[in-house]
Amino acid sequence: MGVSIGFVPTMGALHQGHISLLETAKKNCSLVVCSIFVNPTQFNDKADFDNYPVTIESDIDKLERAGCDVLFLPTVTEMYPQGETVNGKYNLGYLETVLEGKYRPGHFQGVCQVVHRLLNIIPANNLYLGQKDYQQCMVIKKMMQLTKINTNVIICPTLREDDGLAMSSRNMRLNETERKKSAAIFEALSFIKKNIVPGDINPLKKQVFLRLAENGFKPDYVEIASADNLSIIDEWDGKIKLVALIAAFNGKVRLIDNLLLQ
Ligand code: PAF
């Protein structure tokens, strides 16, 4: 039997969500590779890039304890020997025009560029991604179709803190007050799940958006979309599978989360 490689790409500042991806990879593959690379080309906001948490010593410690076999820790020049300018364009179509694509122009081109390069370096059988970045998972699958990369994409459940906050490296940047407030995002998604009924679902989206704004968030969007293709749903037939998605600023930190509604 040959070696099977499970690959977990990350930008570091590792938390239990990343470790759960590694643990799943370890169950399914004989060799587990993790990359840590804060990819400059996927940040549309320079301040977000400059403030992205870097905790390399504790990351290495966590990876060792989780039994990761290989850590790939490239420099920017190693990943982009010809410079960071995005060459060529992945035709992501509709996926790049909505939600994160709309609010973070260029972000998904940068994500595709780096994951494409990483997969050219690491011949992974399986790629492990977290459901928290729901649209990113779809985009990466699309990039792999376009580039004919033959790696299985395994999407693993979002891990949450006790109060429901989705685990994310950016949570480290929340101050104590902001951290306490952050559970409101998962509560908002759960409210949608509990209250959605067939028919016009725009009033529900609006209600949740306003409630977040009243609680001091600056929401970019509160949306309900087809879980299969992310087309935005305004009128629900009660049948198609839905996902609710939220992006909102809590102070200076932009948080995203989603919840499948069925
Ligand atoms: O989700 C992330 O951490 C990043 O977008 C990824 C997939 C590692 C690419 O830089």
Q: Are residues 146 and 219 in the same domain?
A: no
Q: Which atom of ligand 1 is nearest to the CA of 11?
A: 3
CATH of the domain at 106: 3.40.50.620
Distance CA 74, CA 71 (A): 9
**Count: domains in the chain:** 2
Domain end marker among 156, 184, 218:
156
pLDDT at 87: 66
Contact 130, 214 (CB under 8 A): no
Distance CA 153, CA 141 (A): 7
Low-confidence ranges of the chain (pLDDT < 70): 1, 86-87
Domain end marker among 156, 178, 208:
156
Contact 39, 84 (CB under 8 A): no
Q: Is the beta carbon of 114 within 6 A of some atom in ligand 1?
A: yes
Q: Report, as residue numbers or ranges, the catalytic residues.
A: 18
Q: How far is the CA of 140 from the centre of ligand 1 (A)?
A: 10
CATH of the domain at 241: 3.30.1300.10
Q: Are residues 122 and 216 in the same domain?
A: no
pLDDT at 229: 98
pLDDT at 88: 73
Q: Are residues 60 and 149 in the same domain?
A: yes
Domain end marker among 122, 156, 190:
156
Instruction: Match 């995002």 to its residue by tokens.
Output: 185
Q: Are residues 144 and 178 in the same domain?
A: no
The angle formed by the CA atoms of residues 103, 237 and 183, to the nearest 5 degrees, is 45
Phi/psi of residue 149, each to 5°?
Answer: -85, 130
Torsion sign over Cα 111, 114, 120, 124:
negative
β-pair type (253-260, 242-250): antiparallel
Q: Which domain holds residue 225?
A: 169-256
pLDDT tens digit string along 99-125?
999 999 999 999 999 999 999 999 999
Q: Are residues 38 and 122 in the same domain?
A: yes
Q: Are residues 247 and 202 in the same domain?
A: yes
Q: How far is the CA of 111 from the centre of ligand 1 (A)?
A: 6
